[in-house]
Amino acid sequence: MHAFDWLGEWAVKGENDPLASFWMPFTANRAFKANPRQLVSASGMHYQSGDGRQILDGTSGLWCSNAGHCRPEITEAIAKAAATLDFAPTFQLGHPLPFELAQRIAALMPEGLDRIFFTNSGSESVDTALKIALNIQRAKGQGTRTRLIGRERGYHGTGFGGISVGGLVNNRRAFGGGLPGVDHIRHTHDIERNAFTRGFPQHGAELADDLQRLVDLHGADTIAAVIVEPMAGSTGVLIPPTGYLQRLREICDRHGIILIFDEVITAFGRVGGATAAGQWGVTPDIITMAKGLTNAAVPMGAVAVKRELHDAVIDSVPGGIELFHGYTYSGHPLASAAGLATLDLYARDGLFDRATELGTYWEDAAHSLKGARHVIDIRTIGLVAGIELEPRPGAPTARAMELFHACFDNGLLVRATGDIIALSPPLIVEKAQIDEMFGKVGELLGRID
């Protein structure tokens, strides 16, 4: 059925605009509905648009379809689960799949992070991690530690906890700034010293010391946790300077602060290995995940917690429920089946190695755009690239959005965030497709004022 074949039936019910009812997330709704760009099917590295064109996926959907689209192994596992056990509660009951999946995830985590709590999204994973951190501090007799620390330009989803520790102004402005008692350390973006860096920037490790400033300001005994993305994705691919994450870990250890890595984007192969923490050699106390966990086929998130911190919460309650938190769909059968099939695919096809195998080729292709019209910085690590454009005078973000639309209309899906174009293709990408992506971006940059 064509995307709009149901218009006639809908009009009979009194609605003449088939697009009106869906209030779209993070979208300029009026602009989209005046000129809709629809995706109607997908396979492997490509989407198909509503007008029948093939669209090369340069962003893994939204950083999430790491194994490519509509993989039969995953769809068959979901169908089997739906026919066997469509739903089962995990409040005071259980079913086998989430226990198996938790064990599989735990085996991929840095040593010690082997207690897994299931959620339904990255936003829920972040709010869960923040709640767990507060419970851990209370269980350890540190009940005065209630302050949460995020980072400027951080994105941690859209729950009230996530927007509070997040550092994107527009996400916070309309909602009163979020929870009280939250503070932020400085971001690491520094074009003047680090422009066109390949891999980790050499300047900026000292920016981690901003956490010490907040310790001195508020007192360590008030701070429960600090949360950062190892690589900030949604704000435009901000890669940690060499030594930065290690310094954060040292400051947290010194002051009893729980360190949370938000790996909703970086987990499951994006920068090589199962996690950025494992790949980059810095072990946090808690890791949040989602997106690539199920290849986005069914919504699911997870939180990995160090065993001794989990045990502190469990052992602090003499009997009954230890953590008053959870979701109806935590460990949902279909999501668990999708997660297990996805992890099987990653292992069978060696997809966690792809970012390393293709890293140099990807990096060279991205940096070939140095000198292209409007480009003021390029950042790459793993299979991620951020191409920063000079803002159009008087119209910040407009140039990147125009490029986003031009790419789609010419058969390529990219991500526009502020004045930055981000690319993060499925891990099955081939060299010819990498050439196509950056060649097309370079061509279209030449056409945009």
Cβ atoms of residues 332 and 124 within 8 Å: no
CATH number of the domain that residue 108 is part of: 3.40.640.10
User: Residues 389, 438: one domain?
Assistant: yes
306-360: pLDDT as tens digits: 999 999 999 999 999 999 999 999 999 999 999 999 999 999 999 999 999 999 9
φ, ψ at 389 (rounded to 5°): -105, 150
What is the C-alpha separation between 194 and 201, in angstroms, rounded? 6
| Average confidence score pLDDT of the chain | 96
- Confidence band (pLDDT; 50, 70, 90) for 5? low
Contact partners, residue 349, CB within 8 Å, separation at least 6:
67, 428
Residue 128 lies in a domain: yes
Q: Are strands 147-151 and 223-228 parallel, antiparallel or unpaired?
A: parallel
Last residue of a domain, one of 318, 349, 380: 349
Q: What is the pLDDT of residue 366?
A: 98
Last residue of a domain, one of 328, 349, 370: 349
Residue 195 lies in a domain: yes
User: Residues 334, 367: one domain?
Assistant: no
Residues in the chain: 449
Contact partners, residue 226, CB within 8 Å, separation at least 6:
148, 149, 150, 185, 211, 248, 252, 257, 258, 259, 260
For residue 151, give Cα distances in angstroms to 187, 246, 292.
Answer: 6, 16, 24
Residue 3 lies in a domain: no
* pLDDT higher than 80, residue 200: yes
Residue 273 lies in a domain: yes
Residue 15 lies in a domain: no
Q: What is the pLDDT of residue 1?
A: 43
Q: What is the pTM of this model?
A: 0.96
Mean pLDDT for 78-106 is: 98
368-425: pLDDT as tens digits: 999 999 999 999 999 999 999 999 999 999 999 999 999 999 999 999 999 999 999 9
174-187: pLDDT as tens digits: 888 789 999 999 99
260-313: pLDDT as tens digits: 999 999 999 999 999 999 999 999 999 999 999 999 999 999 999 999 999 999
DSSP state of 392: B
Q: Angle of helix 333-349 relative to helix 96-108, nearest 10 degrees?
A: 40
Q: What is the pLDDT of residue 172?
A: 87
For residue 44, give Cα distances in angstroms to 96, 264, 439.
Answer: 30, 22, 20
Mean pLDDT for 19-42 is: 96
- Confidence band (pLDDT; 50, 70, 90) for 32? very high
User: Residues 226, 122: one domain?
Assistant: yes
CATH number of the domain that residue 357 is part of: 3.90.1150.10
Cβ atoms of residues 150 and 184 within 8 Å: yes
Q: What is the pLDDT of residue 306?
A: 98
Q: What percent of the chain has pLDDT over 90?
A: 94
Range of the domain at 293: 75-349
**Alpha-helical segments (H) within 256-332:** 276-280, 307-315
Contact partners, residue 257, CB within 8 Å, separation at least 6:
149, 211, 215, 220, 223, 224, 225, 226, 251
* 384, containing H or E segment: strand 384-389
Q: How many helices (H) and strands (E) does the chain have?
A: 18, 15
Residue 11 lies in a domain: no
Contact partners, residue 254, CB within 8 Å, separation at least 6:
none
Residue 8 lies in a domain: no
User: Residues 26, 55: one domain?
Assistant: yes
What is the C-alpha separation between 211 and 147, in angstroms, rounded? 13
In the block, tokens 């923490």 appear at: 277
Cβ atoms of residues 206 and 375 within 8 Å: no
- Confidence band (pLDDT; 50, 70, 90) for 104? very high
Residue type, 4: F
User: Residues 177, 50: one domain?
Assistant: no
User: Residues 150, 218: one domain?
Assistant: yes
User: Residues 435, 287: one domain?
Assistant: no
- The total domain count for the chain is 2
Residue 5 lies in a domain: no
Structure tokens at 132: 């767990």
Q: What is the pLDDT of residue 9?
A: 53
User: Residues 332, 384: one domain?
Assistant: no
User: Residues 85, 58: one domain?
Assistant: no
User: Residues 434, 299: one domain?
Assistant: no
* pLDDT higher than 50, residue 58: yes
In the block, tokens 């010194």 appear at: 254
* pLDDT higher than 80, residue 11: no
Last residue of a domain, one of 349, 379, 413: 349
User: Residues 49, 154: one domain?
Assistant: no
What residues form DSSP beta bridges with 421? 387, 416
* pLDDT higher than 90, residue 15: no
Would you tell me how many other CB atoms lie within 10 Å of the CB of residue 62? Answer: 16
* pLDDT higher than 90, residue 10: no
User: Residues 55, 85: one domain?
Assistant: no
Q: What is the pLDDT of residue 14?
A: 53
